[in-house]
């Protein structure tokens, strides 16, 4: 059985004080949730204080990015060990915004995934097609390439702990989403690729969806057997909305 995972990606939002306030409120709202794994990914600057706040709670901590080297002269970068040391158990890798604005590629994502695993972090690997690729019916081809290139060289044990996030770029921050059937079809396809790459791993891997998730559409998505959770951007910034998403099954 795969435990569902709901992630709040706060992106470049919230000061330390704002982040602390939000996490305190979230802790209360979702204290009795046991069926969903809850993860928040704040900015680097808030990780330390949030880690103190969520100790003994059901909230897990993740970073939004790492560099692949362990230490050295890499001005402005943060290493996987530092992220683990500040209390994170997860890290987002290859988010489309990193690919779009910071020129990350499948190759750099692959290096970061390996470095994350080595430091004991679980990578959440983001894949997804652009609007142009969707219009040109290239979605499946692109996803296959991204999965294969991002995971190249990963040992079977590592491959089973990775989380895949399918985030169609045209759905991020636009209010548009694929239908739950379309997402299910792509997640099933990702599982099939996994099955071709690794023996007996595909059924263990969690594949979550991201892109304009809100408290109205989440339950439809979560009905599907291959949708194992959500990666939530803007709707995770409002505690009330985010906790409603986490507790979707009660509404
Ligand atoms: P939105 O939920 O704001 O569309 O963002 C999705 C996302 O990029 C999560 O990583």
The predicted model gives 113-135 an average pLDDT of 98
Q: What is the CA radius of gyration of the chain?
A: 17
Tell me the pLDDT of the chain averaged across its residues: 97
Which mutation among 233, 241, 245 tests ligand 1's pocket best, with the greatest number of atoms within 8 A of CB? 233
Residue 163 phi, psi (nearest 5): -105, 135
Of the candidates 99, 106, 119, 121, which has an alpha carbon nearest to the alpha carbon of residue 153? 106
The catalytic residues are 95, 167
**Residue 199 CA to ligand 1 centre (angstroms):** 32
The predicted model gives 118-135 an average pLDDT of 98
User: What's the pLDDT at 27?
Assistant: 98
**Does the CB atom of residue 167 touch ligand 1 within 6 A?**
yes
Atom of ligand 1 nearest to the CA of 171: 4
Buried b (16+ CB within 10 A) or exposed e, 155-177: eeebbbebbbbbbbbbbbeeeeb
Residue 128 pLDDT grade (very low, low, confident, very high; cuts 50, 70, 90):
very high
Query: Does the structure show a pLDDT above 90 at 146?
Result: yes
User: What's the pLDDT at 148?
Assistant: 97
Portion of the chain with pLDDT greater than 70, in percent: 100
Atom of ligand 1 nearest to the CA of 172: 4
pTM attached to this predicted model: 0.98
User: What's the pLDDT at 251?
Assistant: 86
CB within 8 Å of 143: residues ≥ 6 apart? 127, 128, 129, 166, 186, 189, 190, 193
Integer angstrom CA distances of residue 248 from 4, 33, 57, 144, 215: 12, 11, 20, 31, 7
CB within 8 Å of 39: residues ≥ 6 apart? 5, 6, 7, 8, 59, 60, 61, 62, 90
User: What's the pLDDT at 139?
Assistant: 98
Q: What are residue 177's DSSP bridge partners?
A: none
What pLDDT, in 10s, does the model give residues 44-71?
Answer: 999 999 999 999 999 999 999 999 999 9
Integer angstrom CA distances of residue 122 from 9, 137, 185: 15, 31, 25
**Domains of the chain listed by start with CATH number:** 4-250 (3.20.20.70)
Query: Does the structure show a pLDDT above 90 at 168?
Result: yes
Residues belonging to the chain:
251
User: What's the pLDDT at 1?
Assistant: 84
Are the CB atoms for 47 and 86 separated by under 8 Å?
yes
Question: Per the structure block, which two tokens stand in for 198?
Answer: 């690794």
Kindly report the protein residue whose alpha carbon is nearest to atom 9 of ligand 1.
Answer: 233
Portion of the chain with pLDDT greater than 90, in percent: 99
Query: Does the structure show a pLDDT above 90 at 10?
Result: yes
What pLDDT, in 10s, does the model give residues 206-233?
Answer: 999 999 999 999 999 999 999 999 999 9
User: What's the pLDDT at 145?
Assistant: 98
User: What's the pLDDT at 92?
Assistant: 98
Q: Count how many Cα atoms sit within 13 Å of the Cα of residue 30 in the half-sphere of its side chain.
A: 31
What pLDDT, in 10s, does the model give residues 188-209?
Answer: 999 999 999 999 999 999 999 9
């Amino acid at each position: 059985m795969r435990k569902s995972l709901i992630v709040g990606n706060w992106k470049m939002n919230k000061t330390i004080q704002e982040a602390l306030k939000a996490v305190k409120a979230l802790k209360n709202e979702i204290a009795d949730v046991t069926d969903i794994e809850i993860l928040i990914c704040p900015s680097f600057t808030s990780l330390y204080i949030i880690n103190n706040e969520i100790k003994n709670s059901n909230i897990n901590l993740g970073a939004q990015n790492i560099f692949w080297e362990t230490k050295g002269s890499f001005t402005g970068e943060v290493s996987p060990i530092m992220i683990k040391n500040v209390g994170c158990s997860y890290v987002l890798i290859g988010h489309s915004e990193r690919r779009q604005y910071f020129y990350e590629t499948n190759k750099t994502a692959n290096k970061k995934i390996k470095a994350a695993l080595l430091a004991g972090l679980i990578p959440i690997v983001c894949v997804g097609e652009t609007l142009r690729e969707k219009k040109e019916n290239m979605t499946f081809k692109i996803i296959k390439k991204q999965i294969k290139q991002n995971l190249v060289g990963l040992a079977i044990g590592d491959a089973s702990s990775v989380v895949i996030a399918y985030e169609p770029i045209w759905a991020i921050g636009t209010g548009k989403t694929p239908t739950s059937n379309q997402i299910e079809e792509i997640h099933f396809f990702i599982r099939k690729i996994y099955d071709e790459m690794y023996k007996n791993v595909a059924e263990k891997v969690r594949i979550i969806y991201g892109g304009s998730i809100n408290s109205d559409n989440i339950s439809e998505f979560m009905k599907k057997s291959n949708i194992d959770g959500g990666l939530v951007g803007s709707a995770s910034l409002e505690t009330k909305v985010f906790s409603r998403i986490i507790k979707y099954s009660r509404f």
